[in-house]
Amino acid sequence: MKETIHNEDELFEMLDSYLRKPDDFWTEFYLDREKKIPFFKNVPDENLVSYLSKGHLSSGRVLELGCGPGRNAIYLAKSGWEVDAVDISVTSLQWAEERAEKNGVSIHFIHNNIFSLDVEEGGYDFVYDSGCFHHIAPHRRLSYLKLINKALKPGGHFALTAFRRGGNLGGADISDWEVYQTGSLQGGLGYNKTQLERIFSDYEPIEIRTMRDQDDSAQEFGSSGLIAAFFRKK
């Protein structure tokens, strides 16, 4: 057992050890494709569609963090984007690759922990995260910010959807200290507008709002239990 911490990486490794290992959980999570999970449906997020339809985004190179079964990556590829999509789950990427092939799009899927990615400095016009951020422990937000700062070009855009604090999907209303006191993210941390503005204070907020509910017949995914945030790198 390691007893002495020599650097930031070892500190983060120690803090990680108090929480659930994400790779095992998410590999198991995507094994059963018939589960009644709303975001298993192969449609893009309604907020993502709105960014493109309103002209905030056109096309370029995009990095998706935690792509899951690939629904947003496929939408972006169909919309003319060059897509790199990363996920820690082998089973989700297998599903995503099958979907991409059926949709006739080319996507570079990457099996990795996002914090082990070696991204090109300023290599992306857009970074998107649908449901990854709220599963990240507080100490890893520092790594997360470093990742998107490195990946994005000046003037590039970043967007995410996350559990809304106290929302109907969960969104644990606990402090960062309580995460380590209990050894749990309690299913995923919840966020509100003020918190996201503070965490991403180096970015210009374009829109932060509750996601719009979409019914089962809709060609987009949306749930008011999530908050959608859209930023521009200054």
The number of folded domains in the chain is: 1
Output the pLDDT for position 2: 65
CATH number of the domain bearing residue 84: 3.40.50.150
The region that residue 35 occupies, defined by phi over 0 for left and psi between -120 and 50 for alpha, beta otherwise, is beta
Among candidate residues 128, 198, 194, 130, the one with its CA nearest the CA of residue 162: 130
Does residue 56 lie within any of the structural domains?
yes
Does residue 135 lie within any of the structural domains?
yes
Does residue 81 lie within any of the structural domains?
yes
Does residue 3 lie within any of the structural domains?
no
User: Cα(95)–Cα(204) distance, rounded to whole angstroms?
Assistant: 35
Tens-binned pLDDT, residue by residue, of the chain (234 aa): 567 888 888 888 888 887 767 667 777 878 788 888 778 889 999 999 999 999 999 899 999 999 999 999 999 999 999 999 999 999 999 999 999 999 999 999 999 999 999 999 999 999 999 999 999 999 999 999 999 999 999 999 999 999 999 888 888 999 999 999 998 998 899 999 999 999 999 999 999 999 999 998 899 999 999 999 999 999
pTM over 0.85: yes
Question: φ and ψ at 108, to 5 degrees?
Answer: -90, 100
Q: Which domain holds residue 220?
A: 8-233
